[in-house]
Structure 1
Amino acid sequence: MRSTPHAEAFPAHTPAAAQVFTAVLSHGPLTRLEAGRRAGLSAAAVTKAVRPLLAAGYLAEGADDDARPTPGRPAALVRVNGERALFLGVKVTGGELIAVLTDLCCRIRVARRRPLPDRAPGPVLASIAELVQELLAHAAESDAPVAGLGIAVSGDVDRAEGVVRYSPFLDWRDVPLADLAATTTGLPVTVDHDVRALTVAEQWFGAGAGLADFALVTVGTGIGCGLVVHGRVVAGAHGVAGEIGHVVVDPAGPACHCGNRGCVEAIAGESAIVARMRAVTDRHVTGVTQAVALARDGVPGAREVYERAGEAIGRGIATVANLLGPERVIISGEGLAAYDLFADQIRRAFTTAAFGSAARCDVLTRPLPFEEWARGAAAAAIQSFITHTPGTGQG
């Protein structure tokens, strides 16, 4: 890791310290007893883990103004000192960069957007560097070090190596983004799949907090899925766990960019909806906004396009429920702007295809702006900082 005026190492190098810190980060303020129960550690192990974190200022004793109401709870609480370190998060889309500066508790301090007219790696890196410098100027107003940068990208992303293996929306193959961004910005960099990064944020700070098993399904340009199993975000042996967008739900369906036919994404992704809408309505539909308008205006065949998409999504969610039995499935993404057009079909298809008690899974919709995706990238950087994940942005 390059020595910079920003970078700083987490003071505790043991798994126990990371477990305790993460428990307090997600659920705190907590007593040491509660932190140990959530982390599965003995009181002695918690005491040993907490000591260096308190000494270095990453944990503090006592509640702060942002603490959750805790009537009747003892006063001896441990909380994360959110002001101790800062992090940057960048979400890369096909046409825009969204960046945030957060504290250690992943609370957004500043958010910025920048158009992305050129998707080639060089121009994208240059734009990321400009946004990082802008946010570092804001960070300089604080005494806290900037401890990491997270970048979230859609597609096949190897987080351990920091390489974007394939991103269809950027048309990238084998781009060593973490190393390139670390060289450009001078910061430790974590590159992660955008949905997986958002899943980390939902697990720690959102609708998945406190759940051992849940799935996050995102609907929009693509259909993504992040999985948490037994309290851990699952990437799989090859980093592509949860790709329900490429679950085949109609073998005779439209061709998908992955090479198969009838994938959920080939039916319910935004480009698929727009293409189908053009064919069904014989209108010059150039984007999803027009497609939504046609469906809401009652143009013949338009509503059925969304109903078909909803059925595909519902079947994809049922596949996740049948395989993993999550407590909750959170549906999010920019595609929720049209949720009223296919909500019934999602629920109906899910209920029909879910086996037995899997149908009891709580299905929750949670619209999130792109700033939350950038916050997910920052959460991935915080996760790497805490756990000292190797291979993420060697500077």
Structure 2
Amino acid sequence: MAALSSAKRVVIKIGSALLVDKKTGDLRSEWLVGLAEDVKMLRDRGVDVILVSSGSIALGRGVLGLPRTELPLEQSQAAAAVGQIRLARAYEEVLAPHGIKTGQVLVTLEDSADRRRYLNSRATLATLIGFGVVPIVNENDTVATDEIRYGDNDRMAAQIAVTVGADQLILLSDVDGFYSANPQIDPTAVRYDTVSDITPEIEAMAGDAGSGLSKGGMKTKVMAAKTATASGCAMAITEGSVMRPISALENGANCTWFLAQTDPQVARKRWISAMKPQGVLMLDAGAAEALKRGKSLLPAGVTSVIGSFGRGDPVELRSPEGHALGMGLTRYTADEARVIRGHRSDEIEVLLGYPGRAALIHRDDMAI
């Protein structure tokens, strides 16, 4: 079983049914205060915490007086716009007394499907975490349409966990784990303590029922588990409505852990190395040696740029002798790379006419 005490970076997913009272549409303030205490507990242990939170539409409904039924797209987006302000303020108010800063990050499916936007999201989240901020991530429901939305925050939470390299993802749910059948209708249903491999049989056991204010079901949770565990992130499903649910999980509350299949960094390196390169960067001897020591690739170490590629595209890295060293996701286009190659990072703004990132390829986006 995965131990929460061993975690270094944790993503916690909070559904709208936990945050918002189904009958009144009001925020469950006391529960949120307890969650903040759990976040403080993790932070005091040196754990990075990222919250993926639903609730903007549910909160916006109450403000706008909209019914708790399926809404037309434009009304749903309007409710999200109103609710996002309340949601961000609510998290700030409960975490600030603990000395914890928060930042709102709104994403759509395109932010993970497009490599350039994926790298930008990854860099933003990494910077926030580096500043000691707890990111509050939600889908950007004000602009997302059916074509560019995740559709549920379980899968979005898994994608965020992969993006930030989390080693554990906790889905706070209205059920206390994964069962062999729906326990509400089948008295013989058995809860799994751990799932080491998501087989077709496990997938077939997943139901698809959601609560009144949320869209997630067990099927989406299993899909989230497949994404997370394949990327080296263990995932837990546990009852979230109790006070201080993370403390309850640590103290032995019922749950199901889906075990990670590999280390997050190893999984990411494999993913990058399997990509088809869109171009080639030729390096000088100093840069080639620096990469072998785990350093980022700076423009000064690039001697030649071959091919046409965009930001976020995979490129092959070669030694002065032409030997392949590895693959990396570039932060600059081929044309930009040609302009800044051989120059110091502090010259980038003068050369391009706008500020850029110091590294042409960051070490986290490289497989050597």
- Taking structure 1 as the reference length, the TM-score comes to 0.24
- Taking structure 2 as the reference length, the TM-score comes to 0.26
